[in-house]
A and B are shown apart, each in its own frame.
Chain A
Amino acid sequence: MHSKKAIEIAIKAGKIMLVNGAETYRVEETVKRVAEAGGLSSVNVFVIPTGILLSSEIDGIPATVLERISSEGLDLEAIDRVNRFARLYSSGTMTPDEALEELKILENPPKFSKRARFFFTGLAGGFFVLLSGGNFIEFFLAYWIASFTVWIFDQLTLNFFINNIIGGFIASILGLIGVLAVNRLGGSASLNTVIVGPLMTLVPGVALTNGIRDLISGELLAGSARIMEALFIAVALAFGVGLTLQLSLLLN
């Protein structure tokens, strides 16, 4: 009975980390550490982006648990908290029941308010445009487009591919309208520069880099899976933007 709880704690801790986008080796390390702290012996952990496999020996009989995962993007606060939880738990200051309570709280880590997120998404997108050589009119457009795109993107609960098509479509159609309006009023803005910022907030550059990092450290399966995910997000965004450009050609 005690071993069952130990497995449950280890799997739950790993699940929260993986759902929130932690690297594969970190999840494996954490699950292993927590499981061993819970008194399990000969622990083996195998993590890929869509699942966790944990096997160990209970009363001399091998036992394996599989947990299916669907990831929800990056949340560094959650990773940090589970990391701290793992350290506390393995130092032996928590009973299994306390640990389960704690993990239930960790499932919903505190987030920035919607308003702060809206404001800072704009800054992220806007200043990225400035970094890549845009002017202040383009900064202004990118600010509002990035904020609105991510705000709408956060409301979407469809499949990740469709979500990203819609995200790319919204970013580019807002960009197109903004650029046309600015140029009509005598300013100068180019669609390609304006759209860099809003797309950067959706684009999977970090996922690609993390995938390659997994490959370098020998996690071949997890690395390939992450790179494929990054590529397909990029395809979806390209579809969305392509849709807008086709529309604008039709309207002309």
Chain B
Amino acid sequence: MTFLIQGVYSFICVLGFSIILNLPRRLLFIASISGMVGWLMYIFVQNLTSNFILPAFIGSIFVGLLGELFAILLKHPATLFTIPGIIPFVPGYGIYYTMYHIVNQDFDAAMTQGATALFIAISIACGIVLATSVMRLLRPFIRQYVYKKM
């Protein structure tokens, strides 16, 4: 049940952000789906572990894989799917909060928040790069499969 609700929330959230980012109209639905899958994986992993890096890493791997797959199938750059897709767990709020603590002279909290945000961002970037590299290896096979079907 929670998954269903979270799925709907994240779908609409990613849809909204896609429109802020001016995503081409035909791709809105697909980008929102990949964002939803990424977020569901994120909360799924979050329930299994107390680690803060792993959920974002796994989530972004899924976003990256789906993005690359859609990129091959629909012939658009993969960024169009990955950038809206990572938005639900991107640490934007974390870096804002870091600066906010610094402005309020709370340096301990700033350090904690800042390190967390930085490492979440690094893990997302790693996840996307990993997914891209894996798909680059698999691309010829997927292409072959798709064309055989057509």
Binds B, one of A52-60, A182-190, A234-242: A234-242
Q: Contact between A26 and B77 (Cβ–Cβ < 8 Å)?
A: yes
Q: For residue A231, which residue of chain B has the nearest CB?
A: B95
Residues 103-117 of B, flagged 1 when their CB comes within 8 A of A and 0 if not, give: 110000000000001
Q: Contact between A216 and B129 (Cβ–Cβ < 8 Å)?
A: yes
Task: Decide yes or no whether A79 CB sits under 8 A from chain B.
Answer: yes
Given contacts A200-B92, A237-B96, A239-B103, contact A121 B22 (CB under 8 A): no
Q: Contact between B22 and A76 (Cβ–Cβ < 8 Å)?
A: yes
**A104–B141 alpha-carbon span in the complex (Å):** 38
A contact residues around B94 at 8 Å (CB) = 205
Binds B, one of A2-10, A38-46, A89-97, A122-130: A122-130
Q: Contact between A213 and B76 (Cβ–Cβ < 8 Å)?
A: no
Binds B, one of A61-69, A110-118, A155-163, A173-181: A110-118
A contact residues around B34 at 8 Å (CB) = none
Residues 68-81 of B, flagged 1 when their CB comes within 8 A of A and 0 if not, give: 00000000110110
Q: Contact between B125 and A76 (Cβ–Cβ < 8 Å)?
A: no
Task: Decide yes or no whether A150 CB sits under 8 A from chain B.
Answer: yes
Number of interface residues of B (CB under 8 A): 46
**A98–B29 alpha-carbon span in the complex (Å):** 33
Task: Decide yes or no whether B48 CB sits under 8 A from chain A.
Answer: no
Task: Decide yes or no whether B138 CB sits under 8 A from chain A.
Answer: no
Task: Decide yes or no whether B30 CB sits under 8 A from chain A.
Answer: no
Given contacts A127-B9, A216-B129, contact A205 B92 (CB under 8 A): yes
**A50–B31 alpha-carbon span in the complex (Å):** 29
B contact residues around A80 at 8 Å (CB) = 24, 76-77, 80
Q: For residue B128, which residue of chain A has the nearest CB?
A: A213
| Interface of chain B residues 127 through 149 with chain A (CB within 8 A) | 128-129
Residues 6-26 of B, flagged 1 when their CB comes within 8 A of A and 0 if not, give: 100110110111111111100
Q: Contact between A131 and B19 (Cβ–Cβ < 8 Å)?
A: no
Contact check: which of A120, A203, A213, A238 meets B125 at CB < 8 Å?
A213
Contact check: which of B10, B86, B99, B124 meets A234 at CB < 8 Å?
B99
Given contacts A22-B79, A209-B90, contact A150 B23 (CB under 8 A): no
Task: Decide yes or no whether A212 CB sits under 8 A from chain B.
Answer: yes
A contact residues around B67 at 8 Å (CB) = none
B contact residues around A224 at 8 Å (CB) = none
Task: Decide yes or no whether A217 CB sits under 8 A from chain B.
Answer: yes
Q: Contact between B24 and A76 (Cβ–Cβ < 8 Å)?
A: yes
A contact residues around B6 at 8 Å (CB) = 131
Q: Contact between B99 and A200 (Cβ–Cβ < 8 Å)?
A: no
Contact check: which of B9, B83, B92, B125 meets A212 at CB < 8 Å?
B125
Q: For residue A242, which residue of chain B has the nearest CB?
A: B103
**A110–B11 alpha-carbon span in the complex (Å):** 24
Q: Contact between A212 and B122 (Cβ–Cβ < 8 Å)?
A: yes
Residues 21-48 of B, flagged 1 when their CB comes within 8 A of A and 0 if not, give: 1111000000000000001000000000
Q: Contact between A109 and B99 (Cβ–Cβ < 8 Å)?
A: no
Interface positions of A (Cβ within 8 A of B): 22-23, 26, 74-80, 83, 109, 111-112, 116-117, 120-128, 130-132, 150, 196, 199-201, 203-206, 208-210, 212-213, 215-217, 230-231, 234-235, 237-239, 241-242
Given contacts A205-B93, A238-B103, 14 further A-B pairs with CB under 8 A are: A75-B22, A76-B80, A80-B77, A124-B16, A125-B16, A131-B39, A131-B88, A206-B92, A208-B117, A208-B121, A209-B128, A210-B83, A215-B125, A237-B99
5 A-B pairs with CB atoms under 8 Å apart are A76-B79, A77-B23, A150-B20, A215-B125, A234-B98
